[in-house]
Chain A
Amino acid sequence: MSGLSRWVREHLVLMLGLLVLVYTFVPIFVVVGMSFNDPGGRNVYQFGSFTLDNWRDPCGPDDLCSSLLTSIQIGLLATLVATVLGTLAAFALVRHDFAGRSASNLLIFLPMAAPEIVLGSSLLALFVASGFAGQLGFWTILIAHVMFCLSFVVVTVRARLAGMDDDLEQAAMDLYATPGQTFWRVTFPLVLPGILGAALLSFSLSFDDFIITNLNSGNTTTFPMYVYGQERVGVPMQVNVVGTLMFVVSILLVLGSEVRNRRRAPA
């Protein structure tokens, strides 16, 4: 066997894996590319010529930035509520024993197993049945978002808590820490990464949701709804600017935390 063919054989799986990875990035390249697109004519799904106009004036199109703001507001509020409630519930499920614990676990699991369209239509059915059909908007979206984020928060924090070595809290007690000190000096700092991860997940779930939101939004428009609405008439190129920015900001956040971890533990 020649050296080349052996090298290919040994790295075949890795090459294929990288190919799949490249595939997942193709749309991102398109989004970034299109953010510099001046379509000129009517077809906005084709590259016309290069321009920086979209970046100079991201809020140009009507309603784009206001929908973005709405999404961010709902995202932050939903994240806050879901993270607090979910974290409390995770502590209850891991650290406390009570009748109905397994039923509660099921209650947490089911929303994650239900398709979004079912979650969304259920809520709408309730709002209509209870006479809230006219009041759909910001607050009903928020209620819906907290609902579907909750389970993910519970699951994430629960995993972190369950993976924690019980000996650590016992060691703290053994070293003269009262229950309160044990919680704030040992338990909480150790669970915090899980809570932050859950919050990040919540925000991105909320920010990205369309199907549930669309059914319960009334006249309120979130960013995904804005994009959906513009799809038929031709999406403004500034949407790609927003898409690019979201990608860049998230990557920076992830890399930042990675670098911080590395610096803390240069193994």
Chain B
Amino acid sequence: MSQLAEDVAARAASDPTYDGLRLSGLTKSFGGGFTAVDALDLDVPKGSFFALLGPSGCGKTTTLRMVAGLETPTSGSIVLGGNDITYAKPYRRPVNTVFQSYALFPHLDIFENVAFGLRRRKSAQVKEKVEQMLELVELTEQSRKKPAQLSGGQQQRVALARALINEPEVLLLDEPLGALDLKLRRAMQIEIKRIQTEVQQTFIHVTHDQEEAMTMADTVAVMNAGVIEQMGAPAELYENPRSTFVANFLGQSNLISGTVVSRAADVVTVEMHGIQVSVPTGRTHVDGDQGWVGIRPEKVLLGEPGEQLDAPGNTIPGGVITDVSFVGVSTQYLVRMPWGQELQIFEQNTGRRRMFASGEKVELSWRPEYAFLLDQSQDATAGAQRDGQ
């Protein structure tokens, strides 16, 4: 999958008539020396559902606003389908936005809200188009109501319809589901995905919710401190993160300090606290020999000391269970290792294995192909979700 993303980028770079959206060296500095977006290079292929994922303040919204024309870049360029739109006025570019606050015009009814863009461009058949669009988002019966009379989910759909009806070359979604409750958000995620498949337009979705980005987009770019940390298909990002930030921001990771002891063609051997484990070469992202061995909590298997596990590989003895949380579909364990670190392990409740109790001695093991190796110069807690997030 990473191959695909790289292919797309390579093809785009060599092709002057790239039909997608290309950001080159895009930079936005604000007064006071704060750089929100720092020399960003990004290609968004035409027709893709692209997610820009990152914590608040990472520059994703500023990037989006520059594409929309609501913010002027300090330097760099924005090229859409071969046209340079870097400095084009917002009302002169074929880009529409679904605002986080929806920004529905309170003095206009739903019909007129949706028709707004068409009327500005003096389109023909406004009535037919609006009716068709309202049907697509299932709001035909609300067309003469004012935005304030609609529920949050309905308002969200109006905002979507109002942007989509203009058939923009790129549709920008700025945290569009942020104001909805969890259940509605789920439903809308599926809904927006369905609409995107139907209309086949380019969607760029800005969000801080990693689950939302992974569920909806076919390509996710993880952004941090004004730059793209890593870009690729959701599964690729999750399974093979290249930085501690990505490893922690997308799901959770155990990161254990280690030193490379030998390198073979396809496997690297790392010693961590006296135990040797191997990591596939394609999953090592270190400059020197010092690294973080990373493993996702659900990839770790728990066993009694000496127990033969069905997927043996790297085995680490000497763990003691310090906490057991039963969450239904899985059980989450905290295991204290001999070197003092507490590791997280998620075990699916298939019913075939017994639950361990707090205080029990255990052995950990995982298949070498699930591990990854990150550079030790990076902060092991970068991108970790804080309490309450």
Contact = CB atoms under 8 A, between A and B. Distances in A.
B117 interface: yes
A177 B162 CA distance: 13
A189 interface: yes
Interface stretch (A72-80, A144-152, A165-173): A165-173
A259 to B, nearest CB: 16
Interface in B24-47: none
A88 B272 CA distance: 70
Nearest to B96: A174
B89 A165 contact: no
A186 B105 contact: yes
Nearest to A267: B149
A265 B103 contact: no
A71 B96 CA distance: 52
A119 interface: no
Nearest to B162: A175
Contacts of A170: 70, 90, 97, 99, 103
Given A167-B99, A190-B106, A264-B146, A176 B121 contact: yes
B326 interface: no
A175 B166 CA distance: 8
A102 interface: no
Contacts of B146: 264-265
Interface in A173-206: 173-178, 181, 185-186, 189-190
Contacts of B105: 168, 171-172, 186, 190
A167 B89 CA distance: 16
Contacts of B121: 176
A267 B148 contact: yes
Contacts, number: 68
Contacts of B100: 167
Given A165-B101, A167-B101, A265-B146, A173 B107 contact: no
A186 B117 CA distance: 13
B216 interface: no
Contact of A175 (B89, B92, B106, B117): B117
B71 to A, nearest CB: 10
Interface string B84-123: 0000011110011101110111110000000011001100
Interface residues of B, number: 28
Given A167-B103, A168-B103, A174 B70 contact: yes
Contact of B97 (A171, A177, A178, A189): A171
Interface string A6-20: 000000000000000
B231 interface: no
Contacts of A178: 91, 120
Nearest to A169: B103
B70 A173 contact: yes
Contacts of B149: 265-267
Interface string B66-94: 00111000000000000000000111100
A175 B107 contact: no
Nearest to B95: A174
A179 to B, nearest CB: 8
A183 B69 CA distance: 18
Nearest to B148: A265
Contacts of B90: 170, 173-174
A57 to B, nearest CB: 46
Interface string B209-234: 00000000000000000000000000
Contacts of A174: 68-70, 90-91, 95-97, 163
A171 B99 CA distance: 8
Nearest to A192: B107
Interface in A134-173: 165, 167-168, 170-173
Interface string B127-171: 000000000000000000010110000000000001100100000
A185 B163 CA distance: 17
A176 B166 contact: yes
B198 to A, nearest CB: 21
A165 B92 CA distance: 22
Contacts of A185: 116
Contacts of B148: 265, 267
A266 B144 CA distance: 13
A178 B119 CA distance: 12
A181 B106 CA distance: 16
Nearest to A189: B107
A172 B99 contact: no
Nearest to A186: B105
B91 A177 contact: yes
Interface-centre pick from B90, B99, B166 (highest chain A CB count, 10 A): B90
Contacts of B116: 172, 175, 177, 185
A165 B103 contact: yes
A56 to B, nearest CB: 45
A116 B100 CA distance: 47
Given A175-B163, A176-B91, 17 more contacts: A167-B99, A167-B103, A168-B105, A170-B99, A171-B103, A172-B105, A173-B69, A173-B91, A174-B90, A174-B91, A176-B117, A178-B120, A189-B107, A190-B106, A265-B148, A266-B149, A267-B148
Q: Which 4 A-B pairs rank lowest in CB-CB distance, beginning with the nearest? A: A167-B103, A175-B117, A171-B103, A176-B120
Interface of A: 165, 167-168, 170-178, 181, 185-186, 189-190, 264-267
16 contacts: A165-B101, A170-B99, A171-B97, A171-B105, A172-B116, A173-B69, A174-B70, A174-B97, A175-B117, A175-B120, A176-B166, A178-B91, A190-B106, A265-B146, A265-B148, A265-B149
